[in-house]
Amino acid sequence: MGETETKPRIPPGQRITKGWPVLSVGPTPIFNPQTWSFEVSGEVERPFKLSWAEFQRLPRVKRTADFHCVTGWSRLDNVWEGVAFRTIAEKAGLKPTARHATIGCENDYTTSQPLSILMEEDVLFADTHDGRLLESVHGGPLRLIVPKIYAYKSAKWVRWVRFTAEEELGFWEVRGYSQTADPWTEDRYA
């Protein structure tokens, strides 16, 4: 009998952390549930805008996933709760021309990814981490979580999604970081 090959949990060049280091671009915004909104636009049939209360009424999911930072640390077995990216896409009704999405956040931060990544089952807009509301320093009230790629693609303080035909470069990508951000190939820089 041959040996069964198992995939390692930690990508090359990463180390495990039990804590959760805080890395951010710009100041941590102050969340006001009365004025906060989430907007969806672009290559969609039904653009929409939701208040915090309306967003909270969307169908919820819970996912357990590892989290890999481009700076070299990984945090294992995070339990995220929130709204699946797929739910947002379905609510908007994607046009056939939609191939990518740009995620916009506080502090003019953006990131973009192909829908082939974003529509995977483990991708969500999280408002809860390990059973507690997501702290603002970690992206609360709402953070995109894309577990299979480096965390700079898991944008903090999300406010909008724009579905596009062409991929747009985000904050880090225009500064030389990789668009694909694959931790398993150490794809950190363009």
CATH class of 32-185: alpha beta
Q: What digits encode the pLDDT tens for the residues 10-66? A: 999 999 998 888 888 888 999 999 999 999 999 999 999 999 999 999 999 999 999
- Residue-range domain boundaries for the chain: 32-185
pLDDT in tens, 98-132: 999 999 999 999 999 999 999 999 999 999 999 99
* In the predicted structure, residue 5 carries a pLDDT above the cut 80: no
Please write down the HEC assignment for all residues of 18-63.
CCCCCCCCCCCCCCCCCCCEEEEEECECCCEEEEHHHHHCCCCEEE
Is the pTM of the predicted complex or chain greater than 0.85?
Answer: yes
A 10 A CB-CB count for 16 gives 11
Cβ atoms of 129 and 141 within 8 Å: the answer is: no
Look at residue 71 in the predicted model and tell me its pLDDT: 93
How many alpha carbons lie under 13 Å from residue 125 in its C-beta half-sphere? 23
Name residue 50's amino acid: L
> 137-185 pLDDT, tens per residue?
999 999 999 999 999 999 999 999 999 999 999 999 999 999 999 999 9
Residues in the chain: 190
SS3 114: strand
CB-CB contact of 163 with 101 (8 Å)? yes
Tell me, letter by letter, the H, E, C secondary structure of 53-96.
HHHHCCCCEEEEEEEECCCCEEEEEEEEEEEEHHHHHHHHCECC
